[in-house]
Each structure stands twice: as C-alpha cells, then as structure tokens.
C-alpha cells in the first residue's frame, strides 16, 4: 500500500511538472528568442526535474525548483557557447615581463641621472615644462625670469639631455661623444 501511495504521489508530481511546460517555454523563449533552443532548454529542464523529482522535499516550492533548473540549463548553454581558443594556436607571452620592467627602470634611472646632471636653471625649466606641463609663461612666472630665458634654458637643456641619453645607448658611444664635443664648442 505504501509503495502504491509513493507511485501515486510521484505520478501526481510528474503531472504538475509537465503542467509547467508552457510557462517554462515562455520564459526560455524570452531569454533566448529562439523557438528551437527554448524548446530544447525546456525539454532538458523537464528531463532533469523528472529524473531528480525525489530531491524536491517541499511540493509548495515546485515552481521555484523548476524555474531554477531552467535557469541552470540556460547558464550551461551560455557557458558552452563561450568562445574558446585552441591551445596550439595561442601565442604565450606578456607585455609586462621582468626584462621589460628592468629596461623601463633602467631608462627611468638614466633619464633621472641625466636630468640631475643639468645645470640648475635648465633642470628647473625642463622639469616645470616637460614633466609638470606648465607653459613657458607660467614657468617664467614661477622662476621669476623672462620668457626668453625659459625658452633658452629649455632649448639648451633638451640638447644636453639628448647628448647625455645618447651616451648611455649601447653602440652610440662614438656618435654621442662627437655631439657632446660639438655642443661644448658652441657654448
């Protein structure tokens, strides 16, 4: 008798599950806008629900349980559609490597050292205009010098920086020495 009652309850629950088909379909169609896919999602959700109907403890939560299963089926479908890359075609590498960081830090150190070697007036003008973004007029006001003096200091400072930085480049030792000599002659 108890086995007959369990079968009757399972049969009644299966009918209740099947009765939700239209609502499940409407929701699935609203999510995917594809009739065939919506039907497949509902079919998959109902199959899972019927297969695991014993897990439902509270019959009052049947609708919530069914719609949760449908949502999981939809998410599974979306995950499966996510584009994948073939591992054999991937080019492994990263732009931020230790070698690049080292090169960048060496460049920063070279520029700082070169700026530190400039005369004070040129260093002030270069840092205010090139690093801080002030105009020549604003720099002249800050340093309390004429604008022509700022322009002169910037020009000479940039030329000197170029010569100093070229001297630090590998293979540019001989060319940079000639430009430094020329610069000294001009002064």
Q: What confidence score (pLDDT) does residue 146 get?
A: 95
Map residue 119 onto helix, strand or coil.
Answer: coil
Integer Cα distance of 160 and 122 in angstroms: 9
pLDDT higher than 70, residue 44: yes
Residues 3 and 42 in one domain: yes
- Range of 129's domain? 88-187
Residues 187 and 98 in one domain: yes
> Burial level of 129, CB count in 10 A (0-12/13-18/19+)?
buried
Greater pLDDT, 12 or 29: 29
- Write down the pTM of the prediction: 0.41
Map residue 171 onto helix, strand or coil.
Answer: coil
Greater pLDDT, 103 or 12: 103
Integer Cα distance of 178 and 186 in angstroms: 13
Integer Cα distance of 143 and 124 in angstroms: 8
Burial readout 148-160 (b: 16 or more C-beta within 10 A, e: otherwise): ebbeebbebbbeb
Residues 69 and 15 in one domain: yes
Residue with tokens 């009739």: 35
Q: Nearest to residue 148, comparing CAs of 120, 117, 125?
A: 125
Last residue within a domain, chosen from 63, 81, 99: 81
């Amino acid at each position: 008798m108890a086995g007959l009652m369990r079968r009757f309850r399972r049969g009644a629950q299966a009918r209740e599950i099947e009765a939700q088909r239209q609502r499940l379909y409407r929701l699935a169609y609203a999510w995917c806008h594809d009739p065939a896919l919506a039907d497949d999602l509902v079919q998959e959700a109902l199959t899972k629900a019927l297969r695991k109907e014993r897990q439902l403890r509270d019959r009052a939560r049947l609708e919530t349980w069914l719609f949760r299963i449908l949502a999981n089926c939809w998410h599974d479908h979306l995950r499966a559609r996510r584009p994948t890359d073939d591992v054999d075609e991937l080019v492994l590498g990263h732009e931020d490597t230790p070698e690049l960081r080292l090169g960048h830090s060496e460049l920063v150190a070279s520029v700082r050292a070169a700026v530190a070697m400039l005369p004070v007036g040129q260093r002030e003008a270069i840092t205010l205009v090139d690093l801080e973004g002030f105009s020549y007029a604003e720099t002249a006001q800050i340093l309390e010098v004429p604008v022509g003096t700022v322009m002169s200091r910037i020009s000479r400072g940039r030329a000197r920086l170029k010569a100093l930085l070229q001297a630090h480049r590998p293979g540019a030792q001989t060319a940079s020495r000639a430009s430094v000599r020329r610069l000294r002659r001009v002064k």
